[in-house]
Structure formats: structure tokens, C-alpha cells
Amino acid sequence: MTDLSGRVALVTGGTRGIGLATAKALAEAGATVVLTGRDESRAKEAAAAAGASAGLALDVTDAKAVSTLVRGVAKEHGKLDIVVANAGIMEDALLGMIKEDLVDTTLSTNVAGTLHTVQAAARAMMRKKTGAIVVLASIVGEYGSAGQTVYAASKAAVANIARSAAKELGRSGIRVNAVAPGVIDTDLTAGLAEDAKADNIARTPLARLGAAEDVAKAIRFLVSDEASFVTGQVLGVDGGLVL
């Protein structure tokens, strides 16, 4: 089992789904974990469920709040080793139906939110010249998806945040990677029609939807020393759906 004892980790969007499963997986491996969500009481409840040391309120669209929270966590624990920029939203719209609001909310959460988190993480990790960051891309960011142009564009940007930050931060001992999940059974995909789910399963070599824990295990690998020479990668966690 991966050993993360002595590591301090922060997971954004840790109140449910992939973020909650990741917080649990990191805590089970021995890390001290802080998770965040937009609502403080939901974050506290999730922290208790995950075995995390704290659950804090944070909206990742607020650059100043992200910077303050990340600095605070690093100060309280004396360092910050692992950051998982997981918070994200998904809303579908066909090209002709895309409203400006949807563009703003999606880009400010998925792109700017991830950027704020990676930026703050890099600042906190730079001093110790070590750290591992994972961001949440998606298969649709790599391959596109009808009805998901805005979301796919946001996730393509997230993958390139990982690649660019990896190039910039490598010499400071900081690794940055992305995971690109396929269709994972969480609140985010709960609205998918049953026939769309069945179609996805039929096209997936491993013949099922992903579980949040499948993605969490891949993230735990990427932030661990097992991945010590891995940076700038976008790791598919999709059961082979894109093949």
C-alpha cells in the first residue's frame, strides 16, 4: 500500500464524489488531509467521513480566498506536500444553446479555479523544493464531446495547466500531473439518461462505469513517490472507453 505518512495534503471539492474518495484514499495512506467545499458545514461533515483533519469553506473562483487558505494550511502544518485541484462543474449545452452565464461559470470554476489552486500550491511548495499537484482533466477535454463544448474546452485547458506548470515547476522539485476520468458514477453524472449510461458501458472495454475510488487510486499513485519521475502527464482513468 502507498505510504503517505508525514505528508500534508489539500483536496479542493472534497465534499463528495471523486474529491471525497481522494481525501479518504490519501488519509488511509497516512497523509494529514485538509478538504474544502463551498459550504463549511458540508466540508466539516465530509472531513469527518474521510478521516481528514479539517474541512474548510472555499470557493475556488475566488483567487484571494484560495491563496489565503493554501497559505494558512501550509503555515498551520509547516508545509504542504500534496494538492489535488479537483473542484469542478459540468453543465451540458448544444452549441446553439450556450448562454454567456454557462461560459463564465464553467471557465471561472474549472479553468480559473484550477489555475488559482495550482498557483497557490506552487508558491507554498516552492520554499521546500518538493511537492506533487494533480488536476482533474477529462476524456472529453482530450477528445471532445457533442453537447459539451464549454466543458470540454475547460478540461482541455486544465490538461494544459498541468503540462505547462510541470515544465515550469520541475526544477523546483514540484511534479504536476492530471487525471482524465471517463464516465464516473458521481453527482456530476447523475443526470445522464439510463440509455446514455448503458451506451457508455457497452463502449467501455472494462464494461462498467467508473467509481470515484477508481480515480482516487490513480491520484494517490500520482502524488506518491511511486510516481517520482512522472510529471506533465494526463493519465486516463476510463476503463478503456477512448480506445
Ligand X SMILES: NC(=O)c1ccc[n+]([C@@H]2O[C@H](COP(=O)([O-])OP(=O)(O)OC[C@H]3O[C@@H](n4cnc5c(N)ncnc54)[C@H](OP(=O)(O)O)[C@@H]3O)[C@@H](O)[C@H]2O)c1
Q: How far is the CB of 191 from ligand X (least distance, A)?
A: 10
- Site residues (CB under 6 A) for ligand X, limited to 149-208: 181, 183-184, 186-189
Which value, to the nearest 10 degrees, does the dihedral of the CA atoms of residues 73, 14, 66, 54 take? -30
Q: In 110-233, where does DSSP find H-type helix?
A: 113-126, 139-143, 149-169, 194-203, 212-223
Q: How far is the CB of 78 from ligand X (least distance, A)?
A: 25
How far apart CA 36 and CA 154 sit, in angstroms, is: 21
Does residue 217 bind ligand X (CB under 6 A)? no
Stretch that binds ligand X, among 1-9, 53-61, 70-78, 216-224 (CB under 6 A): 53-61
Binding residues for ligand X, rule CB under 6 A, total 32
Query: Contact at 8 Å (CB) between 65 and 113?
Result: no
**27, 60, 162, 219: which one binds ligand X (CB under 6 A):** 60
66-104 in b/e form (b: 16+ CB < 10 A) is bbebbeebbeebebbbbbbbbbbebebbeeeeeeeebee
- Site residues (CB under 6 A) for ligand X, limited to 4-43: 12-19, 37-39, 42
Residue 112, amino acid:
A
Q: Is 151 a catalytic residue?
A: yes
How many residues comprise the chain?
Answer: 243
- Closer Cβ to ligand X, 18 or 172, answer by number: 18
Rounded to the nearest 5 degrees, what angle is found at the Cα of 186, between the Cα atoms of 191 and 144? 70
Stretch that binds ligand X, among 55-63, 76-84, 159-167, 217-225 (CB under 6 A): 55-63
Which residues are the active-site residues?
Answer: 151
**Binding positions for ligand X, rule: CB under 6 A:** 12-19, 37-39, 42, 58-61, 86-90, 109, 113, 136, 138, 181, 183-184, 186-189
